[in-house]
A and B are shown apart, each in its own frame.
Chain A
Amino acid sequence: MSASGVAAAAPASGTAAPVTGDDTILELRNLEKSYGSVLALKPSSLAFRRGEIHAIVGENGAGKSTLIKLLTGVIPRSGGDVLWNGQSVGLANPQEAIDHGINAVHQEVVLCRHLSVAANIFLGDETVKFGLLQKREMTRAAQKILDDMGFQLPAGVELGSLTIGQQQLVATARASLRGTQFLIFDEPTAYLTRQEAAQLFALIRRLKGEGVTIIYISHRMEEVFELADRVSVFRDGTLVGTRNIAETNDNELVAMMINRSIDQIYHKEHIPFGDVLLETRHLSGKGFEDVSLTIRRGEIVGLYGLIGAGRSEFALSVFGRNPKTSGEMLWKGQPIAISNERTAIGLGIALAPESRRDQGLNLNLPIGLNLNLPIYDRLTRGLVISGREEARRADQQIRDLSIKTPSRKSLASSMSGGNQQKIVIGKWLNHGADLFIFDEPTVGVDVGTKAEIYRLFAKLLKDGAGILLISSYLPEVYELADTLHVFRAGHLVGSNGFRGASHEEVLAEAIGV
C-alpha cells in the first residue's frame, strides 16, 4: 500500500504524496471544490490504476458526489489538478470527460424514457444510411451488445416499460461502450434485484479484465468487499484514507467513515419527559412499513438512516402529505386520522421538510411572506391583512432567530443555506406547535448556525414540545436524541437499543453490515 493511505484518526490534509507508477490512469493532485466559503471537497490526492475496481465509501455529504461531478465535468474545480495518463486535463464540461473515455452511471437514470432501449444505447451515435436512421440494424446491434454483456433485456421495447433496475442496466451498457476506459458507478445496485446485481457484477469484472478502471460508490459494505481491489474513505469533504481490500475489514472502514471528535456544538439538556404526544402503531405507507414509535413532550426522538431509507416518507405521512396505508396513529392518546397537512397543522404538528428548495421555501418571494405563510388567517382583520401585524410577526422571527437580512422584504433566495433553514424553522415557531419534525435540519448549514439550531431545540423542549429529528448525519442524532431509531430500507431496525451503542454499531445497523 502506498502513501495515500492515512490513519483514520488523522484526516488527510492536501499534502499526502501522490501515488505514481503502478500504471496510473487518472491522478488527482490536491483537487478541491468550494462553494463560496464552504469546502465541499478539501484538497485531495489520489491515483487510480488502470484496470482496478476502486470503491469509494463515506456518509452522505462526505464529498463522494462532488468528486464524481468533478471527474465527469459536471462542475468546475476550484483548485488542484487532474492528470489523465500523465497529462493535465481540464474536464471543463461533460463532453470533454466523455472524449477522454470517462463515463458515469448515475444513481438516477438519465436517459429518454420514451425512446427504445436500442435508441437509448445509440443516442448521439446513431447508425445512419443515406440520411435515414437504420432502426432495425441498431436494434439488432443493441441486442447483441446486451446479450454479450449477459443482460437479459429486449432491445426493441420502450425504455420506460422496463423497471428502474433494468433501466439502470441499459444505462450501464450505454456507458461501457465508446472506448470507455474509466467508468464510475454511483450506488448502482440501489434499485437492482439480486439477480440483476449479479449480472452487473459479472459485467464489471469483465470490463476490469479488459483494462477498464471502475470507480464503485456504494453504501453496501458486502458489495465493496466482494468487488473492489482498493477502497477510499471520504468524510466531511476529506479523503480519509485508501486501503487494499485484502488488508482491511468493515470495522476499520466504518471507523474511518465516522468523525470521532464530537464537536462542542452539540447542546443537550435533559428535560424530564412529559405526556406522550404522538404514537404510531405498525404504521405503513409509501416507502416505509410497520413503524411503531412514540414521542413525548420534552423528548428528542432521532431517526437515523441513509437517504432513501424511508425516514422522510414516514415524516410526510405523519404530517398528512401522503396518506398511511395501514396501522394506527394516536395523538395525545386519541386515535386520529391525519388525511392532509391542515389536519396535522391544526393538531399542533409542524414539519421542516427535507428539501428547503423544493418543499420548505417559496424562494422567489419575500422572507416575511415565507415566515407568515401558515398564519395569514390569523393576521386577517375582517377581509384584509393587518399590515402592521404582518410586519411585526415577521420582524420578531427575524430578530429571535437572528436571520441575517436587511429586511423582511428581501427574497428568500438571497439568503445563505443557514439563514434559509432559519426561515423554514421560523415559519413554524411563528405558528406554534407541540410536535416539531425536523428533517435534515442542518444539511448545508454552517457550524455556527448548527449550534444555534441545536440551542433552539433545547428551548422548544423546555417549552414542552416534542421533537422528531431526522438525520443522515450520525453525530447529530447520536448526540441529541433521547431515543434513537434506525431506518433501513423502509423499516425500523433494532429500535430503541442504541443508548450506549457505539457510532460504529449504529452505522452498521443502518448500512446492514
Chain B
Amino acid sequence: MASVDVATAKAVKARRNYSFLFALTLLGLLVLLWAVLAFATPNFLTDKNISNLMRQGSMIAILAVGQTFVIITAGIDLSVGAVVGFSTVVIALLLQAGVPVWAAILITLLVGLGIGLFHGFGITRMGLPPFIITLASLTSLRGIGLLMTNGSTISIQNDAFTEFATLDFLGIPSLFWMVILVAVPAYVFLNHTRWGRYLFAVGSNPESARLSGVRVNRVIYLAYALSSIFAAFVGVLLATRIGIGNATQAEGWELQAIASTVIGGTSLFGAVGSIHGPLIGAFILATINNGANLLNVNSFWQRIITGGLIIVIVYFDQLRRRGR
C-alpha cells in the first residue's frame, strides 16, 4: 500500500474519532443535565428520584434499541407504543386467567413476534411503506386491545409479578437491569453477527445487498420482529410497574423511542446507528422530563424542549456529515 492517500487516512481517523466524540458528547450532555439539576433542586440527587428516573428511562431505552434495528434498515416502526399498551392487556388477561407468570410472559412476547412478522409481511409481500403498515398497527392495536377489555382496565392480582418493578438488585432498580439484559445481546447482535451486518447492508443499498446474496426480505422481517418483541417486553415491564392492563397506556412512546434513537446518532436514512447512542438518548429525554417535573415547569414545556432538542442535535449531526 505504497500510495495511500494521506487525506483519506486522516478522514478515516477523524470519522472514528468523531463517533467516539459524539457518544462522549451525548454522555457529557447527560452528566451536565444531572449536574445542573443537582444544584437547581434539592430533590434531584436523592435515591428515590434517581431510581425513579432510571425506571422511567428504562422502558423507552429498550423501545429505542428495538427501533434502532428498524431505522438502520431505513425503515420506521410507529407501532411500538401501541404494542406496549396492547401487551399490557395481553399479559393482564393471561394472568387473570391463571396462566403461570413465565408462560404469560412468553406468550406476550410471541404475540409481539406475530405483530412484527405481520409488519414484515406488509412491507415485503404487500409492498406497503413501513410508515403506513406500522401506522395502521398503531391505531388498530389500540382498538383491538380496547375491544378485548371492553374499554375497561384489567388489574393484575399477582403480587409476585407486580412487585418486580419495585425491586432493586445491587442498589440498581430491576427495570434498569432489564435494559442491560437487552442491550448486551443487542450490542453483540448488531456488531458481531452477520445479521447485524445485513441490517446495515439493507439500509445502505438493498439492491446491492440482494445481488450479494443477502436475503433482504428476511432481514426486514427480522428487524420488525425484534422491534415488536422488544415492545412486547416493555409491555410486560410496564404491566409490572403499574399493575394493570390497559390498551391506552404508553401513548406517544413511539415518538419518544424514535426521538431517543435519533438523538443517539441513528440516521433516518438508514445504515448508521449504534446501541449505546439510543440508550443515552433515552436517558437524556427521561432526565429532561424528570427535571422539568422537579422544577415545576409546566409539563407542556417538556414536549417543546424535546422537540427543540431533536432539531438541535440532528442539525449538528447534519453539519458534521456535510463537513466531512
Using CB atoms and an 8 Å cutoff, list the residues of chain A in contact with chain B: 319, 321, 341-342, 345, 351, 353, 358-365, 369, 372-374, 376-377, 379-380, 383-385, 387, 398-399, 402, 404-407, 409-411, 414, 427
- Whether A410 pairs with B193 at a CB distance below 8 angstroms is no
Q: Is the CB of A363 within 8 A of B1?
A: no
Report, nearest first, the 7 A-B pairs whose CB atoms are least far apart.
Answer: A376-B194, A406-B9, A362-B204, A373-B212, A384-B192, A345-B213, A362-B205
With A373-B214, A409-B12 as given contacts, are A364 and B194 in contact (CB-CB < 8 Å)? no
Sampled A-B contacts (27; CB under 8 Å): A342-B213, A345-B213, A358-B208, A360-B208, A361-B208, A362-B200, A362-B208, A363-B204, A365-B204, A365-B271, A369-B200, A373-B208, A373-B212, A373-B213, A376-B194, A377-B194, A380-B193, A380-B194, A384-B192, A385-B194, A405-B1, A406-B4, A406-B5, A409-B12, A409-B16, A410-B8, A410-B12
Give the complex CA separation of A358 and B9 in angstroms: 26
Residues in B with CB closer than 8 Å to A409 are: 12, 16
A414 touches B193 (CB 8 A): no
Residue of A nearest to B15 (CB): A411
- Kindly state whether residue B207 has any CB partner on chain A within 8 Å: yes
Q: Which chain A residues lie closer than 8 Å to B200 at the CB level?
A: 362, 365, 369
Cross-chain contact B210 with A406 (CB below 8 angstroms): no
B11 touches A (CB below 8 Å):
yes
Q: Is the beta-carbon distance between A341 and B211 smaller than 8 angstroms?
A: yes
Which residues on the A side are within 8 Å of B198 (C-beta)? 376
Give the complex CA separation of A58 and B201 in angstroms: 38
CB-CB under 8 A from B50, the residues of chain A are: none
Task: Give B292 Cβ to nearest chain A Cβ, in Å.
Answer: 37
CB distance from A268 to the nearest CB of B (A): 27
12 additional A-B residue pairs with CB within 8 Å, beyond A353-B211, A363-B205, A409-B12: A342-B215, A351-B211, A362-B271, A365-B201, A373-B208, A373-B212, A376-B194, A379-B194, A380-B193, A399-B1, A404-B5, A405-B5
Assess the A387–B192 pair: CB atoms within 8 A: yes
Q: A360-B208, A385-B193 are in contact. Are A369 and B272 (CB under 8 A)?
A: no
For the complex, give the distance between the alpha carbons of A174 and B193 in Å. 54
Residue pair A358, B207 in contact (C-beta under 8 Å): yes
Residues from chain A with Cβ under 8 Å of B17 in the complex: none
Interface residues of B in 1-57 (CB under 8 A from A): 1, 3-5, 8-9, 11-12, 15-16
Given contacts A362-B205, A376-B198, A384-B192, contact A341 B210 (CB under 8 A): yes
> Which residue, B11, B12, B198, B214, has most C-beta atoms of chain A within 10 A?
B12
A264 to chain B, nearest CB (A): 22
Provide the residues of chain A in CB contact with B193, threshold 8 Å.
380, 383-385
CB distance from A398 to the nearest CB of B (A): 8
Give residues in B with beta carbon < 8 Å to A. 1, 3-5, 8-9, 11-12, 15-16, 188, 192-194, 197-198, 200-201, 204-205, 207-215, 271-272
In the bound complex, residues from chain B placing their C-beta under 8 Å from that of A379 are 194
Tell me which residues across on chain B come within 8 A of A345, comparing CB atoms. 213
B194 touching A359 by the CB < 8 A rule?
no
Name the residue on B nearest A361 (C-beta): B208
In the bound complex, do residue A361 and residue B16 qualify as a contact, i.e. CB atoms below 8 Å apart? no
Complex alpha-carbon distance, A359 and B198, angstroms: 15
A342→B201 CA distance, assembly (Å)? 16
Q: Are A407 and B12 interface neighbours, CB within 8 A? A: yes
B8/A427 in contact, CB under 8 A: no
Q: Which residue of A351, A364, A387 contacts B271 across the interface (Cβ within 8 Å)?
A: A364
Give which listed residue, B4, B16, B212, contacts A405 with CB less than 8 A: B4
Smallest CB–CB gap between B267 and chain A, Å? Answer: 9
- The verdict on A369 contacting B201 (CB below 8 Å), with A379-B194, A406-B4 known, is yes
Interchain CB contact under 8 A, A407 and B205: no
Instruction: Knowing A373-B201, A374-B212, say if A404 contacts B4 (CB, 8 Å).
Output: yes
Which residues on the B side are within 8 Å of A427 (C-beta)? 212
Looking at the assembled complex, report how far the CB atom of B101 sits from the nearest CB atom of chain A, in whole angstroms: 28
Please name all residues of chain A whose beta carbon is closer than 8 Å to the beta carbon of B209 when the two chains form the complex.
362, 373
Name, among A362, A369, A410, the residue most crowded by chain B CB atoms within 10 Å (CB to CB).
A362
| Residues of chain B with a CB closer than 8 A to A373's CB | 197, 201, 208-209, 212-214
Give the nearest-CB partner of A343 in chain B: B213
B194 nearest CB neighbor, chain A only = A376
Residues of A within 8 A of B8 (CB): 405-406, 410, 414
Which residues of B are found within 8 Å of A361, using beta-carbon distances?
205, 208
Distance in Å: Cβ of B69 to nearest Cβ of chain A: 16
In the bound complex, do residue B5 and residue A364 qualify as a contact, i.e. CB atoms below 8 Å apart? no
Select from chain A the residue with minimum beta-carbon distance to B9.
Answer: A406
Contact in complex: A359, B197 (CB < 8 Å): no
User: Among A383, A384, A402, A406, which residue has the most Cβ atoms of chain B within 10 A?
Assistant: A406
Instruction: List B contacts of A411 (CB < 8 A).
Output: 15
B211 partner residues in chain A, CB cutoff 8 A: 319, 321, 341, 351, 353, 359-360
Knowing A362-B209, A409-B12 are in contact, say whether A369-B197 is a contact too (CB < 8 A): yes
Residues of A within 8 A of B3 (CB): 404
**B204 and A364 form a contact (CB under 8 A):** yes
> Is A341's CB under 8 angstroms from B205's CB?
no
By a CB distance below 8 angstroms, the chain A residues around B207 are 358-359
Give the complex CA separation of A362 and B204 in angstroms.
5
Cα–Cα distance between A410 and B213 once the two chains are bound (Å) = 23
Task: For the complex formed, measure the closest distance between the CB of B18 and the CB atoms of chain A, giving whole angstroms.
Answer: 13
CA distance A398 to B9 in the complex (A): 15
Option from B194, B213, B271, B272 in Cβ contact (under 8 Å) with A341: B213
B216, closest chain A residue (CB): A341
**Cβ contacts under 8 Å, A406 to chain B:** 1, 4-5, 8-9, 12
Q: Are A359 and B11 in contact (CB under 8 A)?
A: no
Residues of A contacting B194 in the complex (Cβ-Cβ under 8 angstroms): 376-377, 379-380, 385
Cα A179 to Cα B61 in complex, Å, equals 61
Provide the residues of chain A in CB contact with B192, threshold 8 Å. 384-385, 387
Report the separation of the CA atoms of residues A98 and B194 in the bound assembly, to the nearest whole angstrom: 52
Cα(A358)–Cα(B207), bound, Å: 7
- Which chain A residues lie closer than 8 Å to B5 at the CB level? 404-406
B285 to chain A, nearest CB (A): 27
A477 to chain B, nearest CB (A): 22
Complex Cα gap A430–B15 (Å): 27
Q: How far is the CA of A406 from the CA of B4 in the complex (A)?
A: 6
